[in-house]
Structure 1
Amino acid sequence: MSLKSNRNQLVKTAVQGSVAPAHQWAPFEVGAAGEIFAWPSTGGITYNVKIGDSVFGWAGEHIEPGVSTTMSHKNSKAEAGYQFLACCGNEATVISGAAKGEKGTVLGHHGGVEHLMLDFPDAVLDKLTCDDKFLIKGYGQGLKLIDHPDVYIYSLDPDVLESWGLIEREDGRIEVPVNVIVPGHAMGSGIGALSVTTGDYDIICHDEATVREYAMDKLRFGDFVAVLDHDNRYGRTYRKGAVTIGVIIHSDSPLGGHGPGMMTLMSACDEKLIPVLNENANLGAIKGIGRYAVE
């Protein structure tokens, strides 16, 4: 059975941003195992880290693939609107400089730094500068499944929803393809946030036994993942039988309580959502971008 949505009632709104400055957070940082490091982190234009790459193994932490953007580089209500309206899978257009007119794709937003990450092909990245600007057709907030009001959807382009491969079962539950299923006790920074339409929260990957047990070492940028027993309908909290589905938007981190970042896309209680493992459950595979792009 096909899943009907309210896509024709959604509002499409232009929002505009520019390249976020790359940060150095501290001269040195200390990881959860006592390791000391001085690594690249958030912001800027990242050339060699892309959707489809592993989130592990980089000499960097909280790395954001592609182009990191903000509206004004200030933490304001307008800045929150830029993140709120730009949804996973939305179209982004370069509106300045040598790459003017080139198209890209929204991956998702990163809380704390309030960055929105955009994917562009290599040929476009090579033309961009840190002064360039981007126009995004914000489309997706308010999306819902007409026959399933108990499934809450956030920050998701309706085209991605329709291409994802969700299946409605005869018992009324919905199967959702994901690459990894994460246990609720592995979630860290971001728990307790009241807003799930901006920001993200982190999957803690510091316990090697848990990583092996749940195959969390397979995590890639752009992966769709499920978190068990987490309710993101009205904020991020623990609730037995709830399932939250999200997309991976930044890399692993050695910092205590941190790890690969996941932006919320949908959530429901009472085992309404059934995660089904599928190695192609990745935004890049759906949109043909990042490492999935056909040259």
Structure 2
Amino acid sequence: MLKTNKEKLVMQSVQGKIHHPMGKNYRVNNDGEPMMLPATGGITYNFRVGDSAFDLVGDHVEPGVSIRNEEKIENDALMNLACIGNKAIVVSGEAKGAEGFVTGSHGGIEHTLIDFDKEEMFLMAIDDKILVRSFGQGLRLTDYYPEIKVMNVDPGLFENIPIEEKDGKLIVPVACKVPAHLMGSGVGSASAYNGDYDIMTSDEEEIKRLGIDKLNFGDLVMIENHDNSYGRTYLKGAVSIGVIVHSNCIKAGHGPGVTTIMTSKKSLIEAKIDSESNIKKYVKV
């Protein structure tokens, strides 16, 4: 097992409310066609982690439950500290006591995303409060730091990913590889410790050729030649690993969103293709 500093990490409460869906008028796709579609926010009952991020009629759809705080400084803490795999607990409303887990964060709309059982989601309502036991920021691989950085992931989930060590490199199971030229909205962000950035999907032939159209919510992917150490940028030889957090999109420059969990400026991370590499398989809450 990889050596980490998890025993030194701080577990702390963060909390948010289920946020009403956001949207106004038409969304215009990359062919100039206006469309009226479900999009971000609320409770998405019929698409959850493990389901297709492509085979649905929507734009930037967030699986499961989307939470946020209207006070920016509080929402910044929620976005920065809640990590994929953290336990989430409903603390108000009819579903009080229900437990789920964080599945990612969505920049721009500034939502933290959480998966619950469908039966429990049907008991939930807009503005119900959900507490997250944040744990994971500051996690280090003691034998690989600072060359490899880890972020946005619960140590328990991370330890369950079957990462192999070989010749001084880490071999990570991912559903597919994403070339650098396909990364769009979110490139240039100042930090990868919250939010996501999108795989551009307007070139349908290229997306199918690479198998990106088969991605599910929660799948692990490798982004080639991208460094997420201090923001999101192109860097030849760099590697980043992330999780698919929201659906495909119709807008130019957009597509399924990726929240980063590992990055290296050097070619110290390699991919092992595994179509079943999904956080749903690895999470334990």
TM > 0.5 between the two? Answer: yes
| Paired residues of 1:180 and 1:218 also in contact (CA < 8 A) | no
Instruction: Report the aligned-residue RMSD.
Output: 1.2
Tell me: CA distance 1:210–1:288, structure 2 relative to 1, closer, same or farther (3 Å).
Answer: farther
Q: 2:38 aligns with which of 28, 37, 40?
A: 40
**1:288 Cα shift?**
7.2
Q: Aligned partners of 2:231, 2:251: CA distance in 1, in Å?
A: 23
Partner of 1:61: 59
Partner of 1:73: 70
Structure 1: which amino acid aligns with 2:170? I
Q: Aligned partners of 1:260, 1:105: CA distance in 2, in Å?
A: 20
**1:275 Cα shift?**
1.2
SS of residue matched to 2:80: helix
Count the aligned residue pairs.
284
SS of residue matched to 1:78: helix
SS of residue matched to 2:120: helix
| Paired residues of 1:20 and 1:73 also in contact (CA < 8 A) | no
SS of residue matched to 1:124: helix
Structural mapping, 1:251-262, within 5 Å: 251-262=247-258
Partner of 1:50: 48
Report whether the alignment pairs 1:178 with 2:174.
yes
Partner of 1:23: 22
Moved more, 122-131 or 105-114: 122-131
Moved more, 86-95 or 52-61: 52-61
Partner of 1:249: 245
Partner of 2:129: 133
SS of residue matched to 2:67: strand
Report whether the alignment pairs 1:165 with 2:162.
yes
**1:37 Cα shift?**
0.3
Q: 1:193 aligns with which of 189, 214, 221?
A: 189
| Paired residues of 1:163 and 1:286 also in contact (CA < 8 A) | yes
| Paired residues of 1:56 and 1:252 also in contact (CA < 8 A) | yes
Moved more, 122-131 or 247-256: 122-131
Partner of 2:5: 6
Q: Percent identity?
A: 42
Q: Aligned partners of 2:275, 2:91: CA distance in 1, in Å?
A: 35
Deviations 1:127-183 (A, max 9, x none): 1111311111000000010100111111110001100011111x1000011001101
Partner of 2:203: 207
Q: Aligned partners of 1:204, 1:9: CA distance in 2, in Å?
A: 38
**1:34 Cα shift?**
1.9
| Paired residues of 2:139 and 2:155 also in contact (CA < 8 A) | yes
Partner of 1:225: 221
Unaligned runs of 5+ in 2: none
| Paired residues of 2:156 and 2:284 also in contact (CA < 8 A) | no
SS of residue matched to 1:198: coil
Runs of 4 or more consecutive aligned structure 1 residues displaced over 6 Å after TM superposition: none
Partner of 1:114: 110
Q: Aligned partners of 1:98, 1:36: CA distance in 2, in Å?
A: 38
**1:57 Cα shift?**
2.8
SS of residue matched to 1:123: helix
Q: Aligned partners of 1:145, 1:97: CA distance in 2, in Å?
A: 40
Structure 2: which amino acid aligns with 1:12? M
Q: Aligned partners of 2:5, 2:99: CA distance in 1, in Å?
A: 26
SS of residue matched to 1:210: helix
